[in-house]
Structure 1
């Protein structure tokens, strides 16, 4: 099943939701977003709908077993029915969590999402991957559950904190390596909204081809294997961590070093990314490898799918052993210490 993606003005959101054929709307909203937008987007006042509201902790803090249990039992206590429709309002963590609630509540109910961050607009809100985190890593407990609707309203970006905006730019850089058209749009300095639309449509096309990530969809993980480990180790934002993951792939693992390309894209998008968090320090290989081995892209106990991009627009998927990943990091530890963009 495909999601209906609509680029719309923020004042059209309420009327769009009111058209959903249900008498029961379950709302999960990031508490920070709700604090800023509850009057602008009055989702508690939908005509002909009973709205049941669970307010979510902000950001990644929501993606826990405890919150999943709380939200599911709260909705069940309100006598929700199988034709209820869940709406997510927030960034990528909120949509990950909301989709997980929708996937397991009454064995699965329909849901839709309103992404409010740049990262969720171009990536996390699209594709039907839903999840919570565990003590062993990010997004290791989840499902595939397509949202019915994805409403993208650019006005949310006007109040987005700089760190969140920068995180979204990091994910856009990933797309610029995967797709020549997006790469060219950045280099010809097209408006950001056009670049966002191209990222959305590119991901949508790949998801349609490979919903459950058995083949081509894996390329969307470019930079993510090491990026997720860096995110956990250094508590960096997702997009910035992915960029550092890409930098290591380009400068350490590939035959063709494309760090100059990464630097050009970074400058064009005004992404603050210069010194690595481990610059002139020892890269924590053992900690990183412990997290890499628990990554969802593992295909056996000894190897995983790894994404390379030797040429813009032609990413490749290769199986690589954990032993080789660790050996490469160790052999090039001096280069890692000096890595910068």
Structure 2
């Protein structure tokens, strides 16, 4: 089932929820988002609907078993039924988490998502990948479960801080390498609203032909293999980690030829990237390798698959042994140690 994606104003969201064919609406809202928008978007009282509300810890903190159990048990204690409809309000972490709750509750109820960050607008929810994290790594516990609706409202970006903006724009850098058309639009004067729509439609088309990531959809992981390891190791935002992941892949598989293009995109999107978190320090190869061995993109006990781009718009899938990737990191340690753009 494909999601219905709509671009709308905040004023219309309550009406969209009112039109859902269910008398029972479950809401999972990021507590920070709710504190900002509860008056602008009053969802606790919708005519003809019973509302059950669960306030989620902000960001990635929500994506663990404790919160998953807490949310599910809370909703079950309120006598939810199988025709209930769950609404997610928040960023990508809230969407990932809410989708997991919806997938598991009563063996699966319908859900919809209202993304409130740039990252979640261009990525989360689209394609139905839902997940929580494990101490072993990001998004290792999850499922594919499409939301019924994705309501995208760019007005939420007005309260987005610079760090979250940069993280979302970091994900757009990925799209710029996957799609030549998107990449060519990223100039200093780029219209972010148009860019969001382009990224959404691009991912929607990819997912439509490869729902469970067995072929073409795998290219959406560009930069994410190293990126997830960097995100967990250094506790930096997802989109910024993806940029560093793209740069590492380019150094190892492409002699760093795309670095000038990455810098151009970072500048045009006004991303506050900063220096690499390991600049002038030893890159933690052993710890990064530990994350890679537990990554969901491993294809055997000894192989992991990387998405490699040597020319914008043309992707390659490369399976490589862990020993070989470790050797490549060691061979390029001096370049990696000084990496900055």
Same fold (TM over 0.5): yes
3-state SS, counterpart of residue 316 of structure 1: strand
The Cα shift of 1:256 comes to: 6.2
Runs of 4+ in 1 over 6 A off after TM superposition: none
Q: Which residue of 2 aligns with 1:65?
A: 65
Pair 1:336-2:336 in alignment: yes
RMSD: 1.0
What is the match of residue 220 of structure 1?
Answer: 220
Is it true that 1:276 corresponds to 2:276 in the alignment?
yes
1:248 aligns with 2:248: yes
Q: Distance in 2 between matches of 1:339 and 1:275?
A: 8
Q: Is contact 1:5-1:151 (8 Å) kept?
A: yes
Q: 1:104 matched to which residue of 2?
A: 104
Residue in structure 1 matched with residue 77 of structure 2 by the alignment: 77
Q: Could you tell me how far 1:277 is from its partner in structure 2?
A: 0.9
* 1:165-198 C-alpha deviation (Å, 9 max, x unpaired): 1100100001000001110110373311101100
1:45 aligns with 2:14: no
- 1:238, 1:156 → 2: CA distance? 19
- Which residue of structure 2 lines up, in the alignment, with residue 143 of structure 1? 143
Residue 77 of structure 1 deviates from its aligned partner by 0.6
Report the Cα offset of residue 257 of structure 1: 1.3
Does residue 182 in structure 1 map to residue 182 in structure 2? yes
Contact 2:163 2:272 in 1 (8 A): no
Contact 2:188-2:268 within 8 A present in 1 as well = no
Aligned counterparts, 1:90-239, within 5 A: 90-187=90-187, 189-239=189-239
1:40 Cα deviation from its structure 2 partner: 0.7
Q: CA deviation at 1:304?
A: 1.4
Contact 1:223 1:243 in 2 (8 A): yes
Deviation digits for residues 216-250 of structure 1 (CA, Å, limit 9, x no counterpart): 11100000000000011111000000000001111
Q: Is the 8 A contact 1:256 1:310 kept in 2?
A: no
Paired with 2:16 and 2:236, the residues of 1 have a C-alpha distance of: 35
1:77-136 Cα distance to aligned partner (Å, 9 max, x none)? 111000000000000000000000000000000000000000000012311000001110
What secondary structure is seen at the aligned counterpart in 2 of 1:230? helix
What is the aligned partner in structure 2 of residue 265 from structure 1? 265
TM-score, with length taken from structure 1: 0.98
